[in-house]
Structure 1
Amino acid sequence: MTGRILLALAGAVSLSLPAIACARTPAQVDTPAGTLQGTSEAGITVFRGIPYAEAPTGERRWQAPVPATDWEGVRDATAFGPVCHQPPSRPGSIYAEERAEMSEDCLSLNVWAPENAENAPVFVWIHGGSLIGGAGSDSMYDGARLAAEGLVVVTINYRVGILGFLAHPELSAESPDNISGNYGLLDQIEALRWVNRNIAAFGGDPANVTIAGESAGALSVMYLMGAPAAHGLFARAIAQSGYMVSAHTLRGNPHGVPSAEEMGVWLAGQTGHENLAALRAADPQDLTMASAMTGYFPFPAIDGHVLPDQLVDQFDRGEQAQVPILAGFNEGEIRSLRFLLPEAPETGETYTAEIEARYGELAPAFLELYPAGDLEESLLAITRDAMYGWTAMRLVRSQNAAGHASYLYYFNHSYPAADEMDLHAFHAAEIPYAFGTLDRTPPYWPAIPETARETALSDAMVGYWVSFARDGVPVAEGFPAWSAYGDTQAYMEFAGEPRPGAGLMPGMFELHEDVVCRRRAAGIAWNWNIGIISPPLPAGAPECR
């Protein structure tokens, strides 16, 4: 991807405004880590900027996080901590915002808890932002509404971009496990360990933790499900608009792409740094910007230790965390991410010929789902389904097959301001509804009207999300029952109001599962190379038929 695309992605899920002012009174909590001074706001205690780990910097940059040192006395927790280094949001993007202070010392978390909570379910939110940007302090992630419904809410920062995911042979040589990369994921695991040790002090139940995230946050949720070190640290998972694409291996190129270490060597050269010492001496923000402009796309690496294998392989073997899941995607995912689309062919005939040449025996099924008659809508749907729709269904199918309650949703809701921008049910549009933060969207976000219809939909989603985090079954009082995926392939559509259904998008999952299966068998990556830019699809391997 180009630097332009990466900077667009960096703004794609960077979401915040200053929090709405409200009356605050002091609040204290004694945790195993030390005493915190926070605030009490409308019956919710809030503690911000709590350090859960130290991010190694300077000569120790690119190492696993070090658990934060316990402190003596009372630590101020009334302000959010600095965000991790990242590029500025793309000007004019609906996701754009002004970032606060940035620092390498950014590994902090925030807690919202009902006053006098006891053994309350815990909801840990992992922010999106393409692993390039974002922060746990973003205002749409304000946990007050979810806490008012009985959850202890935690949002976290983790290292992103080159500082969070660089793999390099010199780094691997320093490691006792001979690995590198995945530092941002290690941060997330360390945050979950901190929660496990300390959350009871806030009234949370460390045995009842739900990890949740959207976009790159949902990607992180899936990798935490695959990471052995994270198993046992959470009891449930929520993945909103996740994408289970192929990842680079630390070494070798089994899918025809450079290894993560090769990418790191290339990146060091492209940014003008000949070795690890030079990289560590560089200013962190300068390095962040230089790496983004090269087109570097940060991603977890399959290293055989933190991440044993590709997610699809782990899920097929049943090696993922054995937990219930709630997962879904949005109708208009790509309407706000059009930079992911290939250039449209000039005619429907050209499109049809390209699909026939690339998909062979699967072309008829492909063209039935994505016809040439409306090229724009078909191109939008192809990318949406291959990345987000297939992933959501694979998650619920896998966990259902493993005997865990699994729930699928389809967000298909819009409102006038979004429709005027051709952003029906766009990527991340569901977040303020699920968090109950309809009034805390970024400046250029299509304004959500203050109507009973929007409030009711948010009430429903908050209810379902809270109930799932509490006991693994999404229930919202006064709204339709949400059945588990099960044998009927049940799902819940959010389109103006919750609408139960069964058999979402017949044939969609089967087509993309067949495509991924054939690519896996032939050693071809499965990611953004779909539709008219797909490599020719191999004939079906026996296991793919």
Structure 2
Amino acid sequence: MSKLLFSLAMIAASPAAAQVVNAPAGTVRGTTSGSLSVFKGIPYAKPPVGDLRWRPPAALERWSGERATTAFGPACVQPSGGAPNIYNGVTLPMSEDCLSLNIWTPAKARNAPVMVWIHGGSLLTGSSREALYDGQRLAERGIVVVSINYRLGVLGWLAHPDLGKENATGRSGNYGLMDQIAALRWVRKNIAAFGGDPAKVTIAGESAGGLSALYLMTSPQARGLFRGAIAQSSYMISMPELKRARFGLPAWEVGGQLLGQALKAPSIAQMRKLDPAALTIAATAGGFFPFGVVDGEVLPQQMVDAFDRGQQARVPVLAGFNQGEIRSLRMLAPKNAASPADYEREITGRYRDLAPAFLRLYPSADHAESTIAATRDSLYGWTSERLARKQTAVGQRAYLYLFDHGYPAADEAGLHAFHASELPYTWGTFDGTPPRWPKVPATAAERRLSDTMIDYWTSFVRTGRPVAQGAPAWPAYGTAQNYLWFAQTPTIERDLFPGMFEFNETVMCRRRAAGKDGWNWNVGVLAPEIAPPAAGC
């Protein structure tokens, strides 16, 4: 009996059984987790170090032998520390050698649909190794889940004239986006070996990951690499352009040149010699903020223009945002006015003929709450509905949602339905949130909502239509302007925030026509004086 107990104890303590896959990229050995096979830290491109820093991702040769893929790869280099908030608090190992991906796949999967997850973090922070993005619960629904790293901050999004001289087109910037495209190409070539169908890939992301999904939808280089898109809290912002100043932003390669001068490393050769962590910290402290740049090639035009011309990827989309986005991102909102009268005076002076519409949507009686709502809508609400409308216009199904769900710890902290608060529900990772995140109670009701959202999301990945057991049939946005309202339980509604889309669309249209100001970051009492009416606006 003692020998039997000893043997059982050894089995219980032993690591999960190894899973070996011989993929075109090379042979990998992962582990099992319940009914899944899991592979972590698979490299999809060469490390972008030395002379490969600020170059497009270079393909790896097939490796020889068997590569252990049982631990996550390091995060891409990013600023660490900073003021404590609900999103940070976990120290991640970092490296320039960070272009890796992770796969969760049903053990007996054959031609299964695939979801490729792009993490958020303002294109500046984040990693696919975060516990919030554990793919277990999603893959248990029969899909293959892939999560990826991509270059961040100055290492992923710098443009510079010296970099333009390194290629025939004169292009620079967008290296982080090129990483995402390289990862999608790796998936197209290799995922069948892991039980996935390369023709059934859905891209998905939240915040900067949702922004990345929009970049990918408008990039010709990503065309054909996915058949659906999920964009959670994405933002169709005005973008810098490579060669000219527009929308309040400098020509992006000139901005890179000025950064090099400030760092006392004016040439790219000198910047390539800088320590990556020190470079990232110094660039961030110096005001560098990462954006995709209109370079004429990877991103040929402003996102709004691509969608207006019907030149985006014509795929089904699932998109939405959270009611309290700005409650945890108050740095994005202007400071509150001193009084309702001051608020009305500022809005009237800045929005001129559009002021009555602004004040109807965001009244002065509770101007602090109105400021939060106006900032939310200019970034996330307008973008989500615009995406739904534009995909509908080109004959694609679009599914719109509003996440308005509260739970005690969040609501008591004044963070009802805050930015990213839907993630533990869509991933089923209540126990994977950062240390200061308001704790989600693992009650039957919360688990039920999570199961419903996981059903909707994975059904969309499988079929392009979100369906959940025992929940309302989610209608496409269509001409009725349908959306699903996630409060305590999901409910079908119509006409989200009446007038919100039309107002923000007009603001965008006028600012785009004038070319002087961006249309997302200048809101409410901080807005520049609105341009006069323009043709088509």
Structure 1 distance, partners of 2:83, 2:288, is 20
**Structure 2 counterpart of 1:530, which letter?**
V
Q: Secondary structure at the match of 1:447?
A: coil
Given that 1:214 and 1:241 are in contact with CA atoms closer than 8 Å, whether structure 2 keeps it comes out as yes
State the match for 1:197 in structure 2. Answer: 189
Note the C-alpha offset of 1:531. Answer: 1.2
Q: Which residue of 2 aligns with 1:12?
A: none
**2:5 counterpart residue number:** none
Cα distance per residue 1:420-467 (max 9 Å; x no partner): 110000000001100111121111110001101100110110000000
> Aligned residue for 1:9?
none
Q: Which amino acid aligns with 1:526?
A: W
In the alignment, which residue of structure 2 is the partner of 1:314? 306
Q: Tell me, yes or no, if the aligned pair for 2:77 and 2:95 is still in contact at 8 Å.
A: yes
TM-score using structure 2 length = 0.96
| Separation (CA, whole Å) in 2 of partners of 1:317 and 1:368 | 31
**Number of the residue aligned with 1:234:** 226
Q: Deviations over 1:170-191 (max 9, x none)?
A: 1111122211000000000000
- For 2:521, the aligned partner's letter is W
What's the CA shift string for 1:175-233, capped at 9, x where partnerless?
22211000000000000000000000111010000000000000000000000010000
Question: 1:527 Cα deviation (Å)?
Answer: 2.3
In structure 2, the residue matched to 1:465 is 457
Contact 2:319 2:384 in 1 (8 A): yes
Q: Following superposition of structure 1 onto structure 2, how do residues 41-190 of structure 1 map, counting pairs within 5 Å?
A: 41-190=33-182
1:476 maps onto 2:476 in alignment: no
1:253 to 245, 250, 269: 245
Match of 2:273 in 1: 281
Instruction: Provide the C-alpha distance between the structure 2 equivalents of 1:369 and 1:33, rounded to a whole number of angstroms.
Output: 53
Q: Deviations over 1:483-533 (max 9, x none)?
A: 000011000011111111111100000000011011111113212011111
**1:111 & 1:413 partners in 2: Cα distance?**
30
Bigger Cα displacement from structure 2, 403-412 vs 53-62: 53-62
Alpha-carbon distance, 1:23 to partner: 6.2
In angstroms, what is the RMSD of aligned CA positions? Answer: 1.2
> For the residues of structure 2 that align with 1:177 and 1:497, how far apart are their CA atoms?
52
Shift of 1:305: 0.6
Distance 2:227 2:30 in 1: 28
Aligned to 1:541: 534
Aligned residues: 524
Partners of 1:409 and 1:375 lie apart in 2 by 26
Deviation at 1:89?
4.1
Which residue of the partner structure matches residue 3 of structure 2?
none
Partner of 1:390: 382
SS of the counterpart of 1:543?
coil
Mapped contact 1:36–1:77 kept (Cα < 8 A): yes
Q: What CA distance in whole angstroms lies between the structure 2 residues aligned with 1:213 and 1:54? A: 24
CA distance in 1, matches of 2:445, 2:316: 30
SS state of the match for residue 46, structure 1? strand
Quote the offset at 1:72 in angstroms: 1.3
Separation of aligned partners in 2, 1:36 and 1:257: 45
CA distance in structure 2 between the partners assigned to 1:538 and 1:289 by the alignment:
37
Aligned counterpart, 2:525 = 532
User: Contact conserved, 1:121 with 1:470, CA < 8 A, in 2?
Assistant: yes
Q: CA deviation at 1:161?
A: 0.3
Q: Which segment is superposed worse, 183-192 or 431-440?
A: 431-440
Conservation of the 8 A alpha-carbon contact between 1:24 and 1:41: yes
Bigger shift: residues 270-279 or 400-409? 270-279
**Deviations along 1:268-311, whole A, 9 cap, x unmatched?**
12223222121111000000000111121110110001100000
Letter matched to residue 432 of structure 2: R
1:15 maps to none
SS in 2 for 1:372: coil
**Matched-pair contact (CA < 8 Å) for 1:483–1:491:** yes
Decide whether the 8 Å contact of 2:90 with 2:435 is kept in 1.
no
Q: Which residue does the alignment assign to 1:209? A: 201
Distance 2:68 2:475 in 1: 44
8 Å CA contact 2:19, 2:29 repeated in 1: yes
Instruction: Please tell me whether Structure 1 or Structure 2 has the larger radius of gyration of its CA atoms.
Output: 2
TM superposition score normalised by structure 1: 0.95
Shift of 1:253: 1.5
Higher alpha-carbon deviation: 113-122 or 250-259: 250-259
Which SS does the other structure have where 2:97 is aligned? Answer: coil
Map 1:418-457; keep pairs closer than 5 Å. Answer: 418-457=410-449
1:14: which partner in 2?
none
1:496-535 matched pairs, under 5 angstroms: 496-523=488-515, 524-535=517-528
Q: Distance in 2 between matches of 1:113 and 1:56?
A: 28
Cα displacement string for residues 68-97 of structure 1 (whole angstroms, at most 9, x for unaligned residues) = 221111110001111110011434211113
The letter for the 1-side match of 2:92 is: A
- Runs (4+) of structure 1 exceeding 4 A deviation are none
Distance in 1 (CA, whole Å) between partners of 2:33 and 2:130 is: 18
Residue ranges of structure 2 left out of the alignment (5+ in a row) = 1-12
* Range that drifts further, 92-101 or 415-424: 92-101
| Structure 2 counterpart SS, 1:224 | helix
2:317 counterpart of 1:325: yes
Q: Which moved more, 1:136-145 or 1:250-259?
A: 250-259
Identity of aligned residues (%): 55
Q: Kindly indicate whether the alpha-carbon contact (under 8 Å) linking 1:89 and 1:95 is maintained by their aligned counterparts in 2.
A: no
Secondary structure (helix, strand or coil) at the match of 1:315 reads helix
What SS does the aligned partner of 1:511 have? helix
**What SS does the aligned partner of 2:430 have?**
coil
Gap runs ≥5 in structure 1:
1-20
Query: Which amino acid in structure 2 is aligned with residue 360 of structure 1?
Result: R
Q: How does 1:375-414 map to 2 (within 5 A)?
A: 375-414=367-406
Indicate how the Cα distance of structure 1 residues 218 and 405 shifts in structure 2: closer, same or farther if over 3 A, else same. Answer: same
Aligned mates of 2:405, 2:81 — CA distance in 1: 26
Moved more, 259-268 or 463-472: 259-268
Aligned residues of 1:390 and 1:508 also touching (Cα < 8 A): yes
SS in 2 for 1:53: coil
**Aligned partners of 1:490, 1:112: CA distance in 2, in Å?**
33
Question: What is the alpha-carbon distance in structure 2 between the residues aligned to residue 52 and residue 474 of structure 1?
Answer: 30
Name 2:343's counterpart in structure 1.
Answer: 351
In structure 2, what is the Cα distance between the partners aligned to 1:149 and 1:530? 41
* Residues 330 and 425, structure 1, Cα contact 8 Å, conserved in 2: yes
Which residue does the alignment assign to 1:486? 478
- Cross-structure match for 1:11: none
Could you list the per-position Cα deviations for residues 384-433 of structure 1 after superposition, in whole angstroms to 9, with x for gaps in the alignment?
A: 00000000000010000100000000000011100111000000000110
- Whether the aligned pair in 2 keeps the contact of 1:89 and 1:98 (CA below 8 Å) is no
